[in-house]
Amino acid sequence: MITVDNISKRYDSLLALNDIHLTIQEGSCFGLVGPNGAGKSTLMKIFSGVLHDFDGDIHVQGLSVKKERIKVKKLIGYIPQEICLEETLTAKDNLLYFGSFYGLKGKDLQDRTRKVLQQIGLEERGKDKVSTFSGGMKRRLNIGCAILHDPSIIIMDEPTVGIDPQSRNSIFSIIHELKEKGSTIIYSSHYMEEVEQLCDSIGLIDKGALVECGTMDELQQKYNKPSLFVSGEGLDDVGLSKHGDVESKGNGYILQSDDPLMTLEKLIAEFRAHNILPRRLELYQPKLEDIFFTLTGTQLRDS
Ligand SMILES: Nc1ncnc2c1ncn2[C@@H]1O[C@H](COP(=O)(O)OP(=O)(O)OP(=O)(O)O)[C@@H](O)[C@H]1O
């Protein structure tokens, strides 16, 4: 179990994290979601021992991040948001270089380097200089450098920012493989779909405060009831608002009522009576984006 106990962090007068507490099960994937500037990177840096000056503490396998930083660092692989590689070296030499920081040497280092190159799908490019790599390949190599010492906890700070879909899928495969191996993954993102897809539990962070935490099912049950989504021509003739609360969404409307199935039946009857064929009419399950908006009034999504 990883426990985050009342973490607060100030940058001068700015309170970047305000009394964060949460627990993360070992072997699970935890997603930290919030908009730009919410405090995700700051918490990731505290987790990984990069930031020392903060209030509260984090315990990893019973070890205090504050008091036993060196021991904790051995358990953790930290992938920072910024790419941190030596461009003039080959991929393999970067791995050898970073591996030596973790105390790996000789055959162990060679074996781990080979294994990691394969894991990140770059075995064919091991002898090429990093300066010839795409952004996505660099991101994968950045991950490789952080997992050379085979850490049981992997912290990834927005690893898919600014990369192509192919590299994103490749990073997802690496994460799935790490999950299957039983690693604990702490993953920050402002892409809700990624977190919904990858993570077992989710923390929502806004303006330095953890506004909610739980599994997707728990969050959905707690905050949003299923509603209806309807789009198409002639909806004004039906008068959606007499069936519940109406809110426009994309090219249609979300209709919230106490009994969505009953409302669906009534709408179908009304559409028949008015000879209207809607483009879409369906039950709508709230997404993370909707829950975040309900809680904070802030949109997570990039415009
Ligand atoms: N070294 C620093 N000095 C001063 N302020 C900082 C520093 N690092 C971060 N901040 C501020 O702290 C707040 C939280 O920043 P942080 O980088 O943790 O957010 P984030 O959620 O990771 O954002 P992003 O998604 O843009 O990376 C922001 O207001 C940011 O400007």
pLDDT in tens, 58-99: 999 999 999 998 899 899 999 998 898 999 999 999 999 999
Residue 303 in this model has a pLDDT that exceeds 50: no
Claim to verify: residue 194 and residue 150 sit in the same structural domain: yes
If asked whether residues 163 and 255 sit together in one domain, one would say no
Confidence of residue 166 (pLDDT cuts 50, 70, 90): confident
Mean of all residue pLDDT scores within the chain? 90
Same domain flag for 206 and 229:
no
Residue nearest to atom 24 of ligand 1 (CA): 36
Per-residue model confidence as pLDDT tens digits over 97-106:
999 888 888 9
* Section 206-213 average pLDDT: 95
What distance in Å separates the CA atoms of residue 229 and residue 249, rounded to the nearest whole number? 8
CATH number at residue 280: 3.30.70
Same domain, 119 and 155: yes
Residue 296 falls within a domain, yes or no? no
- pLDDT at 302 exceeding the cut of 60: no
Ligand 1 mutation pick, 20, 40, 81, 188, max ligand atoms within 8 A of CB: 40
* Residue 295 included in any domain: no
Q: Are residues 63 and 117 in the same domain?
A: yes
Residue 286: band (very low, low, confident or very high) from pLDDT cuts 50, 70, 90: confident
Whether 300 is covered by a domain: the verdict is no
Q: What average pLDDT does range 4-27 have in this prediction? A: 95
Query: Do 209 and 156 have their domain in common?
Result: yes
Residue 10 maps to a domain = yes
The per-residue pLDDT for range 192-203, each reduced to its tens digit, is 888 988 999 999
Q: Are residues 108 and 187 in the same domain?
A: yes
My answer on whether 46 and 112 are in the same domain is yes
Residue 301 within a domain: no
Residue 186 is predicted with a pLDDT of 96
| Residues 195, 183: Cα–Cα separation, whole Å | 17
Question: For 106-121, how does the pLDDT look when each residue is reduced to its tens digit (9 = 90+)?
Answer: 999 999 999 999 999 9
The answer to whether the CB of 38 is under 6 A from ligand 1 is yes
Question: Exposed (0-12), middle (13-18) or buried (19+): which is 82, by Cβ within 10 Å?
Answer: exposed
CB atoms within 10 A of CB 126: 17
| 50 and 107 co-located in one domain | yes
Domain boundary (215, 239, 269) is at 215
Q: Which atom number of ligand 1 is nearest to the Cα of residue 208?
A: 14
**Domain co-membership, 195 together with 243:** no
* Together in a domain, 88 and 139: yes
CA 42 / ligand 1 centre spacing (Å): 6
The whole-number average pLDDT for the span 246-270 is: 90
For residue 231, the SS3 value is: strand
* Domain assignment of residue 293, yes or no: no
Query: What percentage of residues in the chain have a pLDDT greater than 70?
Result: 98
Of the listed ranges 124-128, 268-272, 285-289, the one predicted with least confidence:
285-289
Provide φ and ψ at 291, rounded to 5°. -65, -45
At residue 300 the predicted structure's pLDDT band, cuts being 50, 70 and 90, is low
Q: Which residue has the higher pLDDT, 247 or 230?
A: 230
Which stretches of the chain are DSSP H helices? Answer: 40-47, 69-75, 91-101, 106-119, 135-147, 165-180, 192-198, 216-223, 235-238, 260-273, 288-296
pLDDT digits (tens, 9 = 90+) for 122-158: 999 999 999 999 989 999 999 999 999 999 999 999 9
Question: Is the predicted pLDDT of residue 36 greater than 80, yes or no?
Answer: yes
Please check the confidence at residue 216 and state whether its pLDDT lies above 70: yes
User: Is the CB of residue 41 below 6 angstroms from any atom belonging to ligand 1?
Assistant: yes
Q: Domain range for residue 261?
A: 225-285
Whether residues 111 and 168 fall in one domain: yes
Question: For the chain, what percent of residues have pLDDT higher than 90?
Answer: 64
Q: What is the CATH number of the domain that holds 123?
A: 3.40.50.300
- Do 255 and 238 touch, CB atoms closer than 8 A? no
Give the pLDDT band (50/70/90) at residue 5: very high
CA of 138 to the centre of ligand 1 (A): 23
Q: What is the mean pLDDT of residues 280-288?
A: 87
| Total number of domains constituting the chain | 2
Q: Give residue 198 CA to ligand 1 midpoint distance, Å.
A: 24
What whole-number distance in Å separates Cα of residue 40 and Cα of residue 186?
Answer: 11
Taking the centre of ligand 1 as the mean of its atom positions, its distance from the CA of residue 44, in whole angstroms, is: 11
Using the 3D structure, point to which of 192, 215, 238 is the last residue of a domain: 215
Q: Is the pLDDT of residue 299 over 80?
A: no
